[in-house]
């Protein structure tokens, strides 16, 4: 939890009744901010997100929970001077074990960006393969225009083997995407 996240969340809550803060959103809703306060499109700031980011804790102190937590005057001094220690966040991260629901919510909220990143990577690979094919085709045309002999058979076999290895990776990608498609139906 960062100051930027808290400020961004507060601003989004205050703006939400007036107008949507993202494309496709109705008034009263907004995209959940990331740790730096930037909206994460595709992740709605709903109750599950809120409970994950702002877990229910009464105090970071260990001990008797029957007694109300004692006021700490030094915290007031820090807030008046604008200082932030960040130690509370570290303590809370260590004290609160991540439960299955929290982990599930986090994984679900990260899924759109992971899918998009992989789609972008595969798109880049496809573009690189188109460039490779164009380069090979240009080399063949240039050889034919020059009237030169074909590359030595050993070199052509080596290129074919290397392209075969790339193709094997493509098959693995297809198998993994098929498995991911089947698995996502259980999400």
pTM: 0.47
Assess whether pLDDT exceeds 50 at residue 123.
Answer: yes
Backbone angles phi, psi at 158, to 5 degrees: -60, -45
Which candidate, 100, 97, 163, places its Cα nearest to that of 135? 163
Do residues 20 and 26 make contact, with C-beta atoms less than 8 angstroms apart? Answer: yes
Segment 44-88, tens digit of pLDDT: 777 777 777 777 765 444 444 444 445 444 444 444 444 444 444
The CA–CA distances, whole Å, from 23 to 19, 26, 30, 111, 164 equal: 11, 9, 9, 19, 44
Distance CA 91, CA 142 (A): 67
Whole-angstrom distance, CA of residue 138 vs CA of residue 135: 5
Kindly indicate the confidence band of residue 101, based on its pLDDT and cuts at 50, 70 and 90: confident
For residues 30 and 26, what is the distance between their CA atoms, to the nearest angstrom?
Answer: 8
């Amino acid at each position: 939890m960062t100051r930027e996240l808290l400020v961004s969340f507060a601003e989004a809550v205050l703006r939400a009744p007036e107008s949507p803060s993202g494309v496709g959103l109705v008034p009263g809703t907004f995209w959940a901010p990331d740790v730096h306060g930037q909206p994460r499109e595709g992740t709605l700031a709903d109750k599950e997100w809120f409970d994950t980011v702002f877990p229910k804790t009464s105090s970071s102190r260990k001990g008797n929970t029957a007694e109300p937590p004692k006021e700490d005057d030094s915290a007031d001094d820090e807030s008046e001077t604008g200082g932030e220690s960040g130690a509370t966040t570290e303590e809370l991260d260590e004290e609160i074990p991540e439960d299955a629901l929290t982990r599930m919510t986090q994984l679900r909220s990260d899924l759109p960006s992971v899918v998009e990143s992989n789609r972008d990577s595969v798109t880049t690979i496809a573009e690189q393969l188109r460039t490779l094919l164009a380069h090979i085709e240009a080399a063949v045309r240039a050889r034919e225009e020059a009237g030169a002999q074909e590359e030595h058979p050993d070199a052509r076999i080596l290129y074919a083997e290397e392209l075969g290895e790339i193709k094997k990776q493509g098959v693995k990608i297809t198998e993994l995407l098929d498995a991911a498609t089947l698995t996502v139906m259980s999400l």
